[in-house]
Structures are given as C-alpha cells and as structure tokens.
C-alpha cells in the first residue's frame, strides 16, 4: 500500500521538475493560463456547465500532479450557475506529491487559496487506492493513488465520464499512461458526447484515440505551443466486457433520482451516516427507529475508538478497511472544525496482544506495507513515557486514531442532514408496490415500497429502503437468508489514579483503555468483553462477570498493576453484529430465491460462467443494506455510506469492482451454491 515517493528537484522559479520522467509539472511561463486553455476551454466546460441539465457532471484526469487543474475546475464550477448539482472529479496519480510539497506549490497561486485550503486540510500521502474528499456539498474528489491502468480496470462505467483531462508526463517517457490499454479503458468509461483534451499532439496518440471511437482534431495550443488535441467520443455500440460475474451486476433501474424519498431503518451509526451522505446529494430521507432515541444499540456505547483493521498483505478488502479508516478520520476532523462534536485524535497504541492470535500479524510486515502516516513504530519519547504503563516493546502506533462519542456523532449527522427521525416506530414488514404498464403486452413494474407495522398498519410509502438495523434484519422476508452473527459486548468504567491521568493515547490489547476526559475526576473506560449472543436482551447480557473479566484483561496489558482501581463507576452492554467472513453487508439486497434458481448450475460446476441477461431481476428493486459492521463500525459506517450513496445516485464509486463484490450481500448465497454436491 505504500507508494514510491516522486523524485523531484526544484527549479529557480520555484517550480518542480520530475527527475523520474525528465519533465516539468506545468508551464514555466503561465501555468494557470495554460491549464485553463488546454483543459477547461478544451472541454468547453464553461459552456456545458451553463446549460447542465443533470444532477452531476463527472470529470476525470490522468496525472493529478500538483492539483492545479482540479483547483481551476473547482473555481470555474463555483462561478457557474449550477443549482444543487454536483461536480465529481476523479483523478489518477502514480507518484503523489507529499503534503509539504503540495503546500509549497499551492502557495504559488493565491487566487486559488479558498479551494486549496479545503483540499490541503484533507490531503496526505496515505497509500494506494482511492481517497475520497468531500470538499463541499457540491464537489467530490476521488483521488486514485497507483497505476492509472490498474485503477481504471476496476471501475464500472456507471453513468460514464463526461470529460477527460490527459495531463500525464511526456508520452515519450511515460508510455504506460498514454498506451493503448489505458486509452481503451478511457473509451469503456465514456459515453456518446464525452470530451477529451490534452497538450500532446503525438501522432500515435491521435491514431489510438481514433481507433477507439474518438473524433480528434488539432486546435490552437497555448503560448508557444502551436497545437493541442481536442476529442469527442462518438462510438455508442461498444459491448463492454463485464468486470465481474453476472450475479454481481447491480441494475441501474433501482437507482432513484434525487427527487425520490428513501427510508432508512435504524438510527445507529450506519443509518445516521447514510442520511448525511444522501443529504449531501439532495436526497430526502427518513429514519425509522424502534427505540426511543437515536444510537440506542451498539452505537450507544459511551466511546468508540478509531483504528484500522490490519492485514498482512494488500487486497481489495484490506484497501477497503484502510480507506474506511482514512475517510472516517477526515470526516471526524471536519465535523470537529465546524463545531458539531468533539473528536479526540490522541493516537492509538496497539499492543501485540491485540493482533490476530490465530494468524499472528508480523510487525515488520505491517510497517513495510502500511504508510507511515497510518502506522508506525512508537517514538523514543513515547516509549519512555509508556514503558512504565504497558508492555509496548512490539507495539504499533496509529497517529490518526482516536475516540469519539458515537451518540454525539449520530446526532451531528442527523443535525447536518436535517433528516426526519421517527422514534418508537417499528417497521415489521415491507410490501412491494407495482403498477401495470405497457400496451398491448401489459406487465408489472416496481413502484416503491410500503412500510407496515406489527398490526399491518401503513407507516409510509417510499421509493427505496436502506436497512441499517443489523440485529433485526432477519425479520424481513427479503433479508431472511442473509447471515448475521451477534456478539454481546460490555464496557466498564473504572476509577483512575494520578498516574493514569497522564495516559494520553488509547492503549489496546486484549481490551481497550481510553484516556480520561475528566482530569479532576479521573476514570477510564475499558472495552469490551465478547461472548456469543444467544437471544438475551442487552440488559440481560449485562453481568458482573464481564466487569471482572474486563478488569483482569486490561491488567494483563499493564505493567503497572496499580494504575487503575477496581471501582466500577459505569457499566454498559450492547449487541454487535457481524457476518461469518467478518466483512459488512454493503450494497443492493439480492433476491435469494431467484439467485438459487438462476445460478443453481454452480452446484455442479463452481466455475461455470453465465451471461448478463436479465440481471436486473437478481436484486430487489430499491432495497439496499449497510449492516453488520462489527467492532469496526466507527471506521466502516461512514465510508460505506458514501459507497452506498454513490451506488444509489449513479456516481462512480470510491472502490473498485473487486471490493464491491467482496461487500456485496449476494456473496454468501453464491458461496453456498458453489459448495460441490458430494
């Protein structure tokens, strides 16, 4: 996941020069003027945005570099008469600049500082993958770090890219970025009318663009450059090779427009973060919660810690957990800056006893895989300070980790989204509405969902429903075969001491010890016991035994056994839900009966391939889920909400197809089918 740092030198004019590609990052004379001419005017953005009649405009760039093109696009978008519409900017960069380098460059353009500040506060070189930035309600930046060809290969077409900036280093020295494989991916992700512009007029590039369906012309270049390229995609009969198996293709007809209403069932972290993400896209939502308050379930635990779930090697799901952590860290910082809640970014010390005992993770492998901004060894100062507290010789440190009250976070999401929250409202069943359409061959078409209570009374009629209530999803007919495992966990607050008052990091081993937030009445929350949930209510699962186990377990991690008093000031139990593979359920809800009938052949041949015909029937129209986040919910709920909001609104996703497949609830039904008949 670590990236190669770009090898750059600084010229006398303060501009960077790539020693790897022997090329400049931008024009020495007038970088802003050239960027505006080649890319903004080259794609006719001002004229197109003046007449934009869609909810969003998607712009993609190969070669993010200094981010100058992005900042100028933000400025132009802000000056355009867009009303509630969104700019989705997707950029690719193999060798991202470091934060201090980016700050140095942005200081050259004071006229762009309002947009630079929004970007810089969230920017850091934090590893490969897609980094999602929410810069305003109107602008989303997906910044892909890594090889552009590999990243493009994983993106579904969705609504398609509207305009392309090709701004990589000189094609003579950067063959891969300008090669035919990359250009074919550009064509696959385009639609009729997609535009493209670039400073390069290389003959090979022009011919390759023509071959994949672009109409290309040379127009006046900028300054001393005689020409540049402007292109438009005209081909519409391309049959794209599917990125995944037929059952993973989520149909587009289930995607409501922003005028539609969506019901969210569950007012925990998952449900509230979904309301926030959808509200940023102008989607009206309502939350239905059976309890008398938000954050009544596991989200009602006093404190949650934010730390990444670690993996020994890079993979699609490892990338998902890394970017869940990074996105949530940025989100919590943003909400704190705007005064919506208090986020304690104190850092997390992870002891060896917290690592996977069945398959132990090796510290050296982890520090080699993860960026230093995410995971590092403790400094000498921290070691000296912590050595008298815990066994930290092989400990790891997450500088971006910290803790927050999940109930406060839920409240902040609800306040910002202005969502209507209906408490004490139990949704018992969903009834699909259908209308008859077509002539002369009349057929039924989905027309929304009715939410009904225990006695069958109508609660609401909506266009789509998102399930965010992990523990109760099996009560719904459409979800009964999705596997959910529940675990009872109990947290205990113990009295502290003058010495424990000096703890300023979260310390996590077999249990997690939180710093005291009250330095006069010192106390520490210890989380959490784990035991299988066998149908008890949360109150029934509360036990003195778990309090004792929490104290014993945290004592094992502490070298100073008198650091805490065994005086219990608070105790609270809750139920957390997960899945058999410990990965949440995020995506459209599959129609399991249809899946079993359509793909039953997998029982005889697990490698059998199926065509993509009628895949819209594989999923219940307008039903989605984000549930079973387990103990990683503070990290994964917010990021999953963005994934699901993008899926619902037809946007490009911040994850690749492989990751989407790994989250897709359909995976368990397919795995069961693939179990060979003996």
Percent share of the chain, pLDDT over 70: 94
| pLDDT value for 51 | 94
pLDDT digits (tens, 9 = 90+) for 149-193: 999 999 998 889 999 999 988 888 787 788 889 999 999 999 999
Could you tell me if 149 and 270 lie in one domain?
no
- CB 465 within 8 Å of CB 624: yes
Which CATH number covers residue 441?
A: 3.50.50.60
Which CATH number covers residue 554?
A: 3.30.9.10
Orientation angle between helical segments 113-120 and 68-79, nearest 10 degrees: 120
Residue 339 inside a domain? The answer is: no
| Stretch 606-611: mean pLDDT | 90
Could you tell me if 69 and 212 lie in one domain?
yes
* pLDDT for 328 beyond 70: yes
Residue 336 CB coordination number (10 Å): 16
Of 543, 572, 601, the position where a domain reaches its end is: 572
Could you tell me if 35 and 159 lie in one domain?
yes
Q: How far apart are CA 599 and CA 614, in angstroms?
A: 12
Residue 313 inside a domain? The answer is: no
Q: How far apart are CA 468 and CA 271, in angstroms?
A: 5
Using DSSP's 3-state secondary structure scheme, residue 207 falls into: helix
* pLDDT for 644 beyond 90: yes
pLDDT digits (tens, 9 = 90+) for 26-74: 888 899 999 999 999 999 999 999 999 998 999 999 999 999 999 999 9
Residue 241 inside a domain? The answer is: no
Give 531 or 48, the one with higher predicted confidence: 48
Q: How far apart are CA 495 and CA 73, in angstroms?
A: 54
| pLDDT value for 157 | 87
Tokens of 356: 């996977």
- The mean pLDDT of the chain is 91
Of 555, 572, 589, the position where a domain reaches its end is: 572
Percent share of the chain, pLDDT over 90: 73
List the beta strands (DSSP E) in 414-511.
Answer: 420-422, 429-437, 443-452, 458-462, 464-467, 485-495, 506-508
Adjacency order of strands within the sheet including 429-437: 429-437, 443-452, 458-462
Residue 287 inside a domain? The answer is: yes
pLDDT digits (tens, 9 = 90+) for 343-361: 999 999 999 877 666 667 7
**Buried-state track 197-235, b at ≥16 Cβ within 10 A, e below 16:** bbbbbeeebbebbeebbbebeeeebbeeeeebbbbbbee
| pLDDT value for 293 | 97
Give 227 or 359, the one with higher predicted confidence: 227
Could you tell me if 159 and 75 lie in one domain?
yes
Could you tell me if 222 and 93 lie in one domain?
yes
Give 660 or 390, the one with higher predicted confidence: 660
- Dihedrals φ, ψ of 258, to 5°? -70, -10
Could you tell me if 494 and 477 lie in one domain?
no
pTM: 0.94
Residue 12 inside a domain? The answer is: yes
Q: How far apart are CA 526 and CA 514, in angstroms?
A: 7
Q: How far apart are CA 391 and CA 112, in angstroms?
A: 48
* pLDDT for 80 beyond 50: yes
Longest dimension (CA), the chain: 82
The secondary structure element, H or E, covering residue 587 is strand 585-590
Could you tell me if 210 and 262 lie in one domain?
no
- DSSP single-letter state for residue 237: -
Q: How far apart are CA 609 and CA 244, in angstroms?
A: 10
Of 513, 545, 572, the position where a domain reaches its end is: 572
* pLDDT for 342 beyond 60: yes
Could you tell me if 526 and 554 lie in one domain?
yes
Could you tell me if 538 and 477 lie in one domain?
no
| pLDDT value for 168 | 86
Residue 92 inside a domain? The answer is: yes
Could you tell me if 389 and 440 lie in one domain?
no
Residue 50 inside a domain? The answer is: yes
| pLDDT value for 43 | 98
CA distances from 62 to 98, 150, 198, 561 (A): 18, 12, 10, 56
* pLDDT for 536 beyond 60: no
The pairing of beta strand 512-513 with beta strand 506-508: antiparallel
Confidence tier at 253 by pLDDT (50, 70, 90): very low
* pLDDT for 632 beyond 90: yes
Question: Residue 63's domain spans which residues?
Answer: 8-233
Could you tell me if 503 and 461 lie in one domain?
no
* pLDDT for 9 beyond 50: yes
| pLDDT value for 310 | 94
Could you tell me if 624 and 534 lie in one domain?
no
| pLDDT value for 254 | 47
pLDDT digits (tens, 9 = 90+) for 440-459: 556 667 789 999 999 999 99
**Torsion sign, CA atoms 442, 445, 447, 451:** positive
Residue 165 inside a domain? The answer is: yes
Count up the domains in the chain and report the number. 3
| Stretch 85-104: mean pLDDT | 95
């Amino acid at each position: 996941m670590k990236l190669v740092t770009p090898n750059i030198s600084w010229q006398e004019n303060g501009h960077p020069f790539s020693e790897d590609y022997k090329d400049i990052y931008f024009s020495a004379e007038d970088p802003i003027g050239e960027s505006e001419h080649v890319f903004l005017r080259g794609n006719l953005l001002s004229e197109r945005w003046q007449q934009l009649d869609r909810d969003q405009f998607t712009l993609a760039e190969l070669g993010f570099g200094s981010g100058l093109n992005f900042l100028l696009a933000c400025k132009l978008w802000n000056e355009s008469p867009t009303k509630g519409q969104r700019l989705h900017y997707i950029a690719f960069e193999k060798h991202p600049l470091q934060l201090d380098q980016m700050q140095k460059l942005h200081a050259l353009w004071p006229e762009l500082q309002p947009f630079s500040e929004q970007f810089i506060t969230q920017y850091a070189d934090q590893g490969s993958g897609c980094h999602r930035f929410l810069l305003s309600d109107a602008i989303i930046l997906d910044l892909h770090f890594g090889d552009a060809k590999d990243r493009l290969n994983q993106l579904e077409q969705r609504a398609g890219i509207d305009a392309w900036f090709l701004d990589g280093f000189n094609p003579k020295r950067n063959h891969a970025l300008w090669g035919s494989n990359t250009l074919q991916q550009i064509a696959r992700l385009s639609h009729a009318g997609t535009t493209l512009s670039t400073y390069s007029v290389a003959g090979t590039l022009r011919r390759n663009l023509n071959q994949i369906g672009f109409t290309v012309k040379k127009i006046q270049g900028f300054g001393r450059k005689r020409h540049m390229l402007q292109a438009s995609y005209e081909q519409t009969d391309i049959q794209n090779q599917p990125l995944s198996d037929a059952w993973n293709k989520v149909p587009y007809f289930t995607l409501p427009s922003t005028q539609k209403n969506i019901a969210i069932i569950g007012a925990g972290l998952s449900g509230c973060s979904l309301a926030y993400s959808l509200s940023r896209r102008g989607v009206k939502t309502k939350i239905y919660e059976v309890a008398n308050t938000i954050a009544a379930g596991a989200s009602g635990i006093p404190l949650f810690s934010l730390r990444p779930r670690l993996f020994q090697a890079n993979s699609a799901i490892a990338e998902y957990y890394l970017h869940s952590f990074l996105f949530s860290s940025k989100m919590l910082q943003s909400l704190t800056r705007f005064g919506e809640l208090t986020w304690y970014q104190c850092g997390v010390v992870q002891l060896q006893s917290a690592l996977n005992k069945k398959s132990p993770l090796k510290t050296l492998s982890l520090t080699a895989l993860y960026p230093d901004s995410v995971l590092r060894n403790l400094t000498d100062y921290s070691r000296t300070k912590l050595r008298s507290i815990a066994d930290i010789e092989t400990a790891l440190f997450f500088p971006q980790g910290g803790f927050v009250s999940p109930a406060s976070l839920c409240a902040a999401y609800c306040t910002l989204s202005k969502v209507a929250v209906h408490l004490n409202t139990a949704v018992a069943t969903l009834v699909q509405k259908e209308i008859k359409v077509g002539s002369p061959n009349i057929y039924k078409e989905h027309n929304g969902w009715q939410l009904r209570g225990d006695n069958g009374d109508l609660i609401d009629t909506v266009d789509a429903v998102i399930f965010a209530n992990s523990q109760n999803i099996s009560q719904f007919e459409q979800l009964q075969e999705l596997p959910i495992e529940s675990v009872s966990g109990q947290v205990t607050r113990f009295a502290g001491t003058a010495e424990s008052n000096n703890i300023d990091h979260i310390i996590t081993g077999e249990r997690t010890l939180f710093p005291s937030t009250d330095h006069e009445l010192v106390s520490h929350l210890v989380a959490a016991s784990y035991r299988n949930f066998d149908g008890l209510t949360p109150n029934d699962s509360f036990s003195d035994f778990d309090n004792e186990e929490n104290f014993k377990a945290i004592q094992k991690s502490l070298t100073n056994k008198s650091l805490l008093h065994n005086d219990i000031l608070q105790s609270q139990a809750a139920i957390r839900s997960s899945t058999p593979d410990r990965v949440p359920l995020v995506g459209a809800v599959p129609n399991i009966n249809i899946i079993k009938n359509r793909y039953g052949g997998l029982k005889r041949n697990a490698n059998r391939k199926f065509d993509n015909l009628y895949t819209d029937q594989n999923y219940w129209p307008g039903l989605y889920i984000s549930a079973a986040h387990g103990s990683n919910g503070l990290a994964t709920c917010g990021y999953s909400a963005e994934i699901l909001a993008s899926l619902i609104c037809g946007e490009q996703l911040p994850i690749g197809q492989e990751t989407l497949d790994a989250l897709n609830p359909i995976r368990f039904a397919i795995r069961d089918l693939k179990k060979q008949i003996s």
